[in-house]
């Protein structure tokens, strides 16, 4: 028989892991779009209109898919985690409702104007809608991260038991919602989104620049792709070091508030001081690869590194080992490796930024083919780092769904059968694979079609020209 707890967890994991891709794209694109719109309106230069329209198309497709996958998540708290929703409803429902009222409403209404309304509204309202959409995407993150950070560092509540079921009552909203984890999460997440989009833009730009300047193909709109590369690189140079610096401090905060999670991130079993930070670690016996307790580890590590990370500078600091915590442990191997790879990627992005920045300064940004290749390969890696970071956060929190208050397995809907959960899980596996493939394919087509020819009508890309007839009795469209 399939375990409804396991099926629900896997389903939630799958659906969030797919969802987050789209918010990362939209949140990361938001500041770029605001800038491009501003410059387009102020200067009227063709390049900014192209940048605005091209990236707006990508934004719009990602937004539509972010919406359909997001609604699924909001419903899943009720369908799959009914006991959790009942326990935490007093505290947890509010941010979700406010996210809808305050953020999604702003975003979704003004997006209509931003995407379709260039010809219908004046410059001021158009600029305002760009701002509203951008602010809306970022506010969505505020509320959902308030909800999640409370699950990591819960405060401001009272706990009572009603017939065996723990029930949380909100007593201090400020303590609960302005909880210590939230600012860390928000800054780290938003910077990650911008960094991921920067990498994506730089990678896409590098592809065309490479084909033109290195391989010598004639490429339409070279100037557009060069601009894309430069904007992406510029944003990378700013965000990559910030992410690493911030991540280091963040790790210390996790150590202070969720020591068990930190021990899992570092795979520290026994309480120790002078704990090394492994950069690569390998069990000496291949059979131990997935055994979290593998002790015979061959690793290249920075001596005292983990202690240093935990304490903010003291390589001798003591880290509590996992064995000190009674009860079940998080799956250490997943957390350990996800953390490792995220950190490695973080450093790689810094390197990439420095390398690209140096080339730019030297004036051979457009011709360094090795750099182009590195950028192309790194285009999707930002999003991968985000996924890994979330896996660290969420899997590392196990066995708790609310740290120290409620176990995940107690949060699952009591009446849910394994059959039902498995059925929907299978459905999601199919549908979400489809969604992912379609989104990737559509992005590929948008990118291949290139930016719209400016000065023509709303059509973007060469293909738009062949669209069969418009609405009857049409008015003064286009311009």
Partner 1 sequence: MSVLARVPSVAAPTALSVGPLIGYAGGPSFTLADGPLFGLPLAEIWFGLLFFLLGTFLFLDGFDFGVGALFATREDSAEREQFLTAIGPFWDGNEVWLVVFGGTLFATFPPVYATLFSRHYLLMFAILGALILRGMAPELYEQRHDEAWRRWWGRSFVVGSLTAPFFLGVFVAHWLFGVTALVSLQGLVVGLAVVTLTIVDGAAFLRIKTRGALRDDLRTDALLALGAYLVLLVLTLGLLYASPAIRPALVSAPSIALVLLSLTFATVYALATRADRYYMAVGAAAGLVFALVAVVAVLLYPELDPVTGLTVEEAVVSTIPLNLMTIGMAILLPLIFGYFAVLYSSFSGPAEEGEGY
* Minimal distance, residue 6 CB to partner 1, in Å: 16
Q: In this complex, which beta carbon is closest to ligand HEM, that of residue 51 or of residue 334?
A: 334
Residue 477 class from Cβ within 10 Å (0-12 exposed, 13-18 middle, 19+ buried)? exposed
96 forms part of the interface with ligand HDD (CB under 6 A): no
The CA distance from 9 to 93, in Å, is 20
CA nearest neighbour of 322 among 309, 333, 337, 311: 333
338 forms part of the interface with ligand HEM (CB under 6 A): no
The CA distance from 333 to 34, in Å, is 41
Binder of ligand HEM out of 7, 20, 83, 333 (CB under 6 A): 20
Q: Which window, 37-45, 51-59, 250-258, 444-452, contacts ligand HDD (CB under 6 A)?
A: 250-258
Choose the one of ligand HDD, partner 1, ligand HEM, none that binds residue 471, judging by a C-beta under 5 to 8 angstroms depending on kind.
partner 1
* Minimal distance, residue 200 CB to ligand HDD, in Å: 11
Choose the one of ligand HEM, partner 1, ligand HDD, none that binds residue 243, judging by a C-beta under 5 to 8 angstroms depending on kind.
ligand HDD
Interface of this chain with ligand HEM, residues 84 to 103, rule: CB under 6 A: 84
Q: In this complex, which beta carbon is closest to partner 1, that of residue 37 or of residue 378?
A: 37
Give the DSSP H/E element, type plus range, for residue 286. Answer: none
Residues 356-382 as b or e (16 or more Cβ within 10 Å = b): bbebbeeeebbebeebbebbbebbebb
Dihedral sign, Cα of residue 325, residue 148, residue 191, residue 257: negative
Token duo for residue 441 = 């394919």
Binder of ligand HDD out of 392, 395, 422, 446 (CB under 6 A): 392
The CA distance from 118 to 444, in Å, is 25
391 forms part of the interface with ligand HEM (CB under 6 A): yes
Binder of ligand HDD out of 151, 198, 227, 342 (CB under 6 A): 342
Binder of ligand HDD out of 15, 86, 179, 196 (CB under 6 A): 196
Q: Please, how many CA atoms are within 13 Å of residue 333, restricted to the half-sphere of its CB? A: 11
137 forms part of the interface with ligand HEM (CB under 6 A): yes
408 forms part of the interface with ligand HEM (CB under 6 A): yes
Interface of this chain with ligand HEM, residues 237 to 276, rule: CB under 6 A: none
Contacts within 8 Å (CB) and 24+ apart, 276-281: 276/301, 276/302, 276/303, 276/304, 276/305, 276/306, 277/301, 277/302, 277/304, 277/305, 277/306, 277/308, 277/309, 278/340, 279/340, 279/344, 280/340, 281/336, 281/340
The CA distance from 451 to 222, in Å, is 10
The CA distance from 229 to 106, in Å, is 31
Binder of ligand HEM out of 11, 37, 148, 311 (CB under 6 A): 148
Give the DSSP H/E element, type plus range, for residue 363. Answer: none
Choose the one of ligand HEM, ligand HDD, partner 1, none that binds residue 185, judging by a C-beta under 5 to 8 angstroms depending on kind.
ligand HDD
Choose the one of ligand HDD, ligand HEM, partner 1, none that binds residue 346, judging by a C-beta under 5 to 8 angstroms depending on kind.
ligand HDD
Binding residues for ligand HEM (CB under 6 A): 9, 12-13, 16-17, 19-20, 22-23, 26-27, 62-63, 66-67, 70-71, 73-74, 81, 84, 104, 107-108, 137, 140-141, 144-145, 147-148, 189, 390-391, 394-395, 398, 401, 408, 411
Binding residues for ligand HDD (CB under 6 A): 152, 185, 188-189, 192, 195-196, 243-244, 247-248, 250-251, 254, 261, 342-343, 345-346, 349, 382, 385-386, 389-390, 392-393, 396
């Amino acid at each position: 028989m399939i375990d409804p707890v396991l099926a629900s967890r896997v389903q939630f994991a799958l659906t969030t892991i797919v969802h987050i891709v789209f918010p990362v794209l939209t949140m990361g694109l938001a500041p770029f779009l605001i800038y491009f719109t501003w410059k387009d309106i102020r200067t009227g230069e063709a390049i900014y209109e192209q940048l605005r329209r091209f990236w707006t198309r990508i934004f719009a497709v990602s937004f539509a898919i972010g919406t359909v996958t997001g609604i699924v998540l909001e419903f899943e708290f009720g369908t799959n985690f009914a006991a959790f929703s009942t326990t935490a409803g007093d505290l947890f429902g509010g941010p979700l409702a406010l996210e809808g009222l305050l953020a999604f409403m702003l975003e979704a209404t003004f997006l209509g104007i931003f995407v379709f309304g260039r010809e219908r509204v004046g410059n001021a309202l158009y600029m305002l809608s760009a701002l509203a959409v951008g602010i809306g995407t970022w506010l969505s993150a505020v509320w959902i991260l308030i909800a999640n950070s409370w699950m990591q560092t819960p405060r401001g509540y009272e706990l009572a038991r009603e017939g065996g079921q723990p029930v949380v009552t909100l007593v201090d909203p400020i303590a609960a919602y302005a909880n210590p984890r939230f600012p860390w999460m928000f800054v780290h997440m938003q910077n990650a989104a911008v960094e991921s989009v920067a990498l994506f833009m730089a990678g896409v730009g590098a592809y065309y620049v490479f084909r033109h300047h290195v391989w010598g193909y004639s490429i339409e709109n070279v100037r557009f792709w060069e601009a894309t590369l430069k904007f992406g690189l510029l944003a990378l140079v700013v965000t990559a070091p910030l992410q690493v610096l911030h991540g280091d401090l963040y790790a210390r905060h996790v150590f202070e508030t969720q020591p068990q999670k930190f021990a899992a991130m570092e795979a520290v079993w026994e309480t120790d001081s002078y704990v090394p930070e492994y950069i690569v670690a390998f069990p000496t016996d291949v059979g131990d690869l997935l055994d979290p307790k593998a002790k015979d580890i061959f690793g290249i590590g920075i001596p005292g590194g983990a202690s240093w990370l935990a304490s903010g500078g003291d390589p001798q600091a003591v880290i509590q080992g996992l064995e000190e915590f009674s009860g079940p442990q998080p799956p250490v191997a997943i957390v350990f490796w996800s953390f490792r790879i995220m950190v490695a990627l973080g450093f790689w992005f810094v390197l990439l930024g420095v390398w690209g920045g140096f080339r730019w300064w030297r004036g051979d940004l457009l011709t360094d083919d090795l750099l182009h290749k590195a950028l192309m390969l790194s285009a999707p890696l930002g999003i991968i780092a985000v996924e890994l970071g979330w896996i660290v956060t969420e899997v590392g929190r196990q066995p708790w769904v609310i740290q120290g208050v409620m176990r995940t397995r107690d949060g699952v809907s009591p009446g849910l059968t394994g059959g039902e959960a498995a059925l929907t899980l299978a459905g999601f596996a199919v549908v979400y694979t489809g969604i992912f493939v379609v989104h990737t394919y559509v992005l590929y087509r948008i990118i291949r079609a290139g930016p719209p020819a400016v000065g023509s009508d709303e059509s973007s890309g060469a293909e738009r020209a062949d669209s069969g007839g418009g609405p009857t009795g049409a008015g003064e469209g286009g311009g």
